[in-house]
A and B are shown apart, each in its own frame.
Chain A
Amino acid sequence: MSNVPLKYLKIEHLRGSITPFTLTFEKGKKLSVIYGENGTGKSTICDAFDFLGTGNVGSLKDKGLGGRLSRYWHSMGKSPSDIYVKLETSGGSCCTATLYKAAVVVDPPDDRPKVEVLRRNQILGLVEATPAERYKAIRKFIDVSGVEASEAALRQLIREIEGNIEVAVARVQENRETIEHFWEQAGKPGQTALEWAATEIEKDQSALDNTRTAIESLKASFNRLSHYPEQYKSQLGACSSADAALETAQSRVDELNAQAAGEYLEILEILQAAQRYFARHPSPEVCPLCESRENVVGLPDEVSHRIALQDFASQLKAAKLSLNAKQQILEGQNQRLEELNKKALADAEAFALKSSNKSLPSGIELPSLPCPTDLADWDEWLVTSSQLIEKWSQISDDCVESKKFTAALKASLDTLHENSQIQHELDDLLPRLKQTLDVVVDERRKFTDSILHDIATEVGRLYEEVHPGEGLNKISLELDPAKRASLEIATEFQGQEGTSPQAYFSDSHLDTLGLCVFLALAQKEKMDETILVLDDVLGSVDEPHVERLIEMLYSEALKFRQCIITTHYKPWKQKLRWGWLKNGQCQFIELDKWTSVDGISLVRSIPEIERLRALLDEVPPDPQLVCAKAGVILEAALDFLTQLYECHVPRRVNALYTLGDLLQAVDKKLKAALRVEHKQKHLDGTVSYIEKQLAPHLDELSRIAQARNVFGCHFNALSFDLLDSDAIAFGAEVLVLMDCLIDHEAGWPRNDKSGSYWATAGETRRLHPLKKPS
């Protein structure tokens, strides 16, 4: 983007430019008024800027030509690739635009100028658009969607924190109730549940452990004792059995010994003698002892068998061995009994020791001690103490429960503290988050309101310049808070605020409003880099306002890089021609009739006074032409003065006045009072005024006015008698009068805002008096 002044625009084969057309911009003139009747190519020039700056040709929009409008962009008989637009700046840089495959190619792309185009058919767009469409047009100035997204995240966070606080509060309440419940279970000791709980969890839990250990140890010890009576009985039985076995064995030995003391040995000797005999006589026929034949068969075997059966010695030996063994068994059992006694007494001693453990709760119930020394008495002793085990178990279980209770209490208290801490932190955080959100929302609203207010104020200011004192300047632009991306436009009408202008304004007023909105928006964005193109926007503006609208456009145009205004409004041309409008920064361009051979072409357009000056400068000057031109200019000046001072002139049909009528209408008093102050700017920046009287020039012109009639109007033989110098003098005097009265850059003094004189723009000329002297 650049703000370097433009040098020329060249258009080839775009729309009406069937032959290359070049529009040269005058140096130092930021406003270019392009005048031309309909069909002269004004819109093509606007299209060229549109094409270059936005890649579009807006004049074809909304004309029912379908979607692909680029097919109509090129001139008749040419192809799209023939389109060529070139813009060169006074700095020497240039930028071109061509069409390639329906896409506009700008070279170099970085030099593409910023162009804003407003066309006649778009002028009501912003005013009559729906609020949503209006928002789209203005969105780029107030689009803070990035901040809004971050703002939404902040809102979400606040909702989450609020939810978290609710949870934390509920948990704190729940924990308090749990602790209260524990407190109630404990009988509500102390002042409050929390104090009690705090004290409770500080208690030494090892005492409970010690107590429980002592009790469990006592129980185990007692359990061991409880087994002794059974063991004792069993051992005692074993001893008795061993003793009985010993007695049996002794009896057997005694029995065998008794037998040994009787006939057993003698019989054994007989049997052994018979055995020896049968060894020699293995088949005796009779018993060798009784010689009986009875039972003799198998007698040797029977003898041997009886010897074997009646092995007394071995029996005795075995019986003695058995006796010995039984004796040892008895001794063993007796020894075990003795050991059992010893062990029982040792355990009893250990139990007594555990019973005196200081970790045991005071008052714990214990069996009578010492325990009986005779195990035989333990059974009875134990039976009397058997119920103690259950009591001790209960105490032990109580210890466990007490620990569990304390642990649960501690957990509840810890959770309470934790949740209270969370709640506290969130309670600190939430207000700050809300304050932060308030700041974001407040700043966002102020920001957008400020931009909208600035735009609306600017629209109102511009509007007031065109419609001063009509009370329609209080324009407001407001974002509808209920609907995102919706922009309402309103004004004050007949004292009623918030009125929709579309409902009450005339088309002319709405046109002006639309133009003002467009200008106000265009000014919001790098206007010194913007080429502003207003294509025939004066269409429906009524005569009383058009001049002020032009004045407004003049002053606003200077803020932009370049302003191009096209118009077919002929009075504008005439006013510029007559220098009625300030034209210091204005380049007036007139287009000739478009033809299919030449395309767009220019008409050389020179202000009338400059034409007179040029005629006078010719060598030699043409008296007739000088008089004719000077006469018309003098009539214009006198018309201006007589209207300004409401002078009396003869009333005629069509309000046609002669030069004589107008000269006489400026009476002596007025003539004497007429003076013009010329502004002088000094090098040090100070300003002074030089006063010039109009009377001498008017008097002189009255004297030589006949020259105009003689030379300037018709063929007149009288002109043969007059000197050409008289005619030239007339022209020169008119020029002096005009140089005295008007500023060729700032226009005619027609502004009475000062209240004491008429002035041009910038007060370069001050015409006195304000009113005609009575």
Chain B
Amino acid sequence: MDESDAPVKTPSEILAEKVVGVLAERELVLADDIQQMSLDLAIGKLRAEDWRVAIEKAIDKGASGE
């Protein structure tokens, strides 16, 4: 797809990508999760339990030293 034909990103989508990028960089969430997380974050569907699971997964991975 030509770049100019790509759907225009909403401000929420642009911001969500920035946010999850920083979260992954600071190892607060797993890099594997950020794609879906970004989509949900942008449309307001990242619920409390989703946040918790994402953060706990990163904690668990850190604890297991992977």
Q: Write the residues of chain A forming the contact surface with B, with a CB cutoff of 8 angstroms.
A: 140-150, 153-154, 156-157, 160, 428-429, 432-433, 435-436, 439-440, 443-444, 447, 451, 526
Contact = CB atoms under 8 A, between A and B. Distances in A.
Given A146-B16, A443-B15, A154 B44 contact: no
A535 B48 CA distance: 50
A440 B48 contact: no
Given A146-B42, A439-B22, A429 B12 contact: no
Interface in B42-57: 42-52, 55-56
Contacts of B49: 157
Contacts of A156: 48
B52 A157 contact: yes
Given A145-B44, A148-B44, A440-B19, A432 B59 contact: yes
Nearest to B58: A432
A141 B46 CA distance: 22
Given A439-B26, A443-B19, A147 B42 contact: yes
B44 A147 contact: yes
B36 to A, nearest CB: 13
B46 to A, nearest CB: 4
B23 A144 contact: no
Interface string B5-32: 0001011111110110011001011000
A443 B47 CA distance: 19
B34 interface: no
A528 to B, nearest CB: 9
A64 B40 CA distance: 46
29 contacts: A141-B11, A144-B11, A145-B12, A145-B44, A146-B43, A147-B15, A148-B44, A150-B41, A150-B44, A153-B46, A153-B48, A153-B51, A154-B46, A154-B51, A157-B49, A157-B52, A160-B48, A429-B56, A432-B28, A432-B55, A433-B51, A433-B52, A433-B55, A435-B26, A439-B19, A439-B26, A443-B15, A447-B15, A451-B11
Contacts of B48: 153-154, 156-157, 160
Contacts of B26: 435, 439
B22 to A, nearest CB: 5
Most buried by B among A428, A436, A444: A436
A429 B19 contact: no
B20 to A, nearest CB: 9
B15 A429 contact: no
A443 B11 contact: no
Contacts of A148: 44
A147 B41 contact: yes
Contact of B47 (A145, A153, A447): A153
Contacts of B52: 157, 429, 433
A144 B14 CA distance: 9
B18 A443 contact: yes
Contacts of A432: 28, 55, 58-59
Given A143-B11, A147-B15, A428-B59, 8 more contacts: A147-B16, A153-B47, A156-B48, A157-B51, A429-B55, A432-B58, A436-B51, A447-B14
Most buried by A among B8, B13, B46, B56: B46
A700 B28 CA distance: 81
A447 B55 contact: no
At the interface, is chain A mostly helix, strand, loop or mixed? helix
B64 to A, nearest CB: 14
A156 B49 CA distance: 10
Contacts of A149: 44
B23 to A, nearest CB: 6
A433 B10 CA distance: 26
A144 B12 CA distance: 4
Nearest to A441: B19
Contacts of A147: 12, 15-16, 19, 41-42, 44
A451 B18 CA distance: 14
A377 B40 CA distance: 93
A216 B34 CA distance: 67
A150 B40 CA distance: 8
Contacts of A150: 40-41, 44-46, 51
A538 B58 CA distance: 59
A433 B51 CA distance: 8
Contacts of B19: 147, 439-440, 443-444
A526 B12 contact: no
A146 B41 contact: yes
A439 to B, nearest CB: 5
A150 B15 CA distance: 12
Contacts of B11: 140-144, 447, 451
Contacts of A160: 48
Contact of B18 (A154, A447, A526): A447
A148 B12 CA distance: 9
A442 B19 CA distance: 9
A143 B55 contact: no
Contacts of B43: 146
Nearest to A157: B48
A447 B14 CA distance: 9
Nearest to B16: A147
Contacts of A440: 19
Nearest to B54: A436
A143 B15 CA distance: 10
Contacts of A143: 10-12
A154 B40 CA distance: 13
A436 B42 contact: no
Contacts of B14: 447
A665 to B, nearest CB: 56
Contact of B23 (A157, A439, A444): A439
Contacts of A433: 51-52, 55
Contacts of A153: 46-48, 50-51
A430 B61 CA distance: 17
Contacts of A428: 59
Nearest to A440: B19
Contacts of B15: 144, 147, 443-444, 447
A327 to B, nearest CB: 94
A422 to B, nearest CB: 13
A653 to B, nearest CB: 62
Contacts of B18: 443, 447
A157 B54 CA distance: 13
